[in-house]
A and B are shown apart, each in its own frame.
Chain A
């Protein structure tokens, strides 16, 4: 059941107490300077990690976010206990991040376009995918199908959550089924891979999107670097798994700077949906049969217009 949740605008993270030095160019950056630039270094373009709320704030029009499946919480089906109980780790993650899980899903508007948006937060147990992440992805896909809205998923994950054992692994199969259901409609689906995206997420919905976008400098790989180094018994090259390497290898469509991400997403979604609307154009006159679709079509045409206007500006990136 959907419910309205206000987005907490207050910033979290290590930059609260003033300046920090950029890992990219060593330049000293003030918290205000960073947060006013979407946590991107104004000097070298280094992308600092965003938490889920900052990500929503970046992509969703102000006040447009309505969370769905907000009442889902992780259970501890295996009563998992390593050096600490899983239930403790969950409590701590909730407390530290202020989030209910490693993925939030909701309806939102992006430049007035209706979308379903799901964002992951690496700070919640390494963005790992357990039962709740799988179920939230499913509900997001379901919402997208019901509303005929496109789906945008921002990934950041260390992979499947070990503490839910085999049930976590099966979330890969579950989310894949959800992607297939969207494909049958078809619902446009874009994944944005951010630093880092690895493991079970990389081997399921993240790489099954219609268009795959990566943030600059993000590490994207199925296997972790440590396990590969152990297997091949040598050091990995410096550019291994980097977004730029993935583009070169043909694994993602493009790299988009965070500062242009929202606009680019809207453009691509508009074009994908534009195709659907154009194919339906001759049916416009059959008012009675397609009366119900008219609203959706008008919206789609408006989007194309918006995009046409936008693309008259000089190309970016």
Chain B
């Protein structure tokens, strides 16, 4: 095989692989959109064309689900979890990078090790803790365990490495205390990092399913993911309605990503240039 043929073969394999990956990523989304326009029977039959049941499915969804309440519950949890996680984890990441102490690296390593513990192993102790604190069936019980995220602390510490130490020095000479340096210099300078972390944490909190399923027991406290799941696990599930719910549940995360994507990319590359 000459060089030209090898290059063409390589290109075909590359494009084939990328195309396959793109299809695998897009297919569920496409199925969700098409499914929302079809009846449950058509979906089960595997129909992959636009149907005429969209209006019926939407009407059924809003009849079966108290949409304003479940969306409000999801939004409340996602926003609260995101704001608190960013506040706590960015402070921790900044602190780990900026302040030196003898035990800093040991504590940081211990924190990172917690990422290796599967959530399933923590569920029972967490449930008992929440029970003792009287927080079962409250949104606070969903939010609390997510605030101290080792991953987000790690992310902030890594990005803080690019935060120039001379900015801190200049701020000290200008008369700022450490908390003021954090608030007035670090936060605005690192806003792209915050934006990227906001998207990641918000999407995780919005899509959170397992832990809310355990601690949220009444219909008044349930989130959209739990409600969609209960629709899908009904005795006669209406998949068209489930698809409508899934589309609606996807919209807020899509909107967040759409509005913040530029800063997300910048944040992933590093805030400080």
Partners in one complex: no
Interface residues, chain A, with chain B CB atoms under 8 Å away: none
